[in-house]
């Protein structure tokens, strides 16, 4: 016999549902806070927010902290590797649409080969090639932002969630 929608939905606020809701609220607050800080720094430094590639990284690291791509090796390494690939491609081939596509594909391969696969970093080579960004982009905002995000995530997970993060640093 099929359960009615009321019977199925009544479990939403059972103990497991309450844990999911609490985890979602905490992840949402952490993500909002991190994005707010990122926007504040972007405005203070007069750096266009559209060029800062961390919004999806924040969601991943705060919302799915146990995932391998959310660990510091992938977070920091993935952004650095993907950006470096983008910089090499744009300086070798110029800011062409086909070069941007090639850079993203090569960045995915490079992240796999280096054990730094971080899906949100896939935007970095696209930004680098499409906007013809300079080599300094790898230092700021990429390295600085990835390090700050890892530090924020560490503090957030340990002090707010009271859980160990990361599982390992490298």
Contact partners, residue 55, CB within 8 Å, separation at least 6: 35, 38, 120
Give tens-digit pLDDT for 152-167. 999 999 999 899 999 9
Question: How much is the average pLDDT of 77-81?
Answer: 98
Question: How much is the average pLDDT of 137-146?
Answer: 94
Percent of the chain with pLDDT over 70: 93
pTM of structure: 0.86
Q: Which residue has the higher pLDDT, 42 or 130?
A: 130
Structural contact between residues 31 and 59, judged by C-beta atoms closer than 8 angstroms: yes
pLDDT of residue 10: 56
- Domain ranges within the chain, ordered by starting residue: 3-160
Q: What is the mean pLDDT of the chain?
A: 91
Structural contact between residues 87 and 135, judged by C-beta atoms closer than 8 angstroms: yes
Give tens-digit pLDDT for 32-56. 998 888 888 888 888 777 778 899 9
């Amino acid at each position: 016999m099929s359960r009615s929608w009321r019977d199925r939905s009544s479990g939403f606020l059972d103990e497991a549902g309450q844990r999911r809701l609490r985890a979602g609220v905490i992840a949402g607050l952490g993500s909002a806070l991190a994005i707010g800080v990122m926007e504040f720094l972007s405005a203070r430094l007069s750096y266009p927010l559209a060029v800062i590639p961390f919004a999806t990284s924040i969601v991943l690291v705060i919302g799915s902290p146990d995932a391998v791509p959310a660990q510091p090796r992938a977070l920091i390494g993935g952004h650095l590797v993907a950006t470096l690939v983008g910089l090499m491609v744009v300086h070798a081939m110029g800011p062409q649409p086909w070069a941007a596509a090639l850079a993203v594909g090569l960045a995915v391969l490079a992240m796999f080969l280096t054990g730094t696969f971080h899906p949100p970093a896939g935007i970095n080579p696209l930004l680098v090639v499409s906007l013809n960004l300079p080599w300094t982009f790898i230092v700021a905002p990429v390295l600085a932002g990835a390090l700050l995000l890892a530090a924020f995530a560490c503090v957030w997970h340990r002090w707010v969630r009271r859980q160990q993060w990361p599982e390992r640093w490298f």
